[in-house]
Amino acid sequence: SQLATARENGDRVLTSAEEAKSSMAAELEAARNDVRTRTAEAAQAQAEAAAATQLAEEMKSRLSRVSARAAESNRQLTSQLATARENGDRVLTSAEEAKSS
């Protein structure tokens, strides 16, 4: 009778231990899956950040080129305006001289 009770208690302890082992194995697998998911998400975020950084560098380079072209155009227009003013002044002077003659 005591042997039967001891066996029953042993079986209950063994069953409980197996259930705990199974539960812990499931939790471990869930944790591993979570780590895999988070690792993949981190890699994706890192790739997106690298792509965004590259795009920002490309845009900065383009902006620099556009700015340089705009500055050159501004210099050319300023020079052309000065030339046009000089020509206008000469025409005006010639007209005034012709008028006085």
- Distance (Å, whole) CA 83 – CA 15: 101
The tens digit of pLDDT for each residue in 24-39 reads: 999 999 999 999 999 9
The tens digit of pLDDT for each residue in 3-25 reads: 999 999 999 999 999 999 999 99
What's the pTM?
A: 0.56
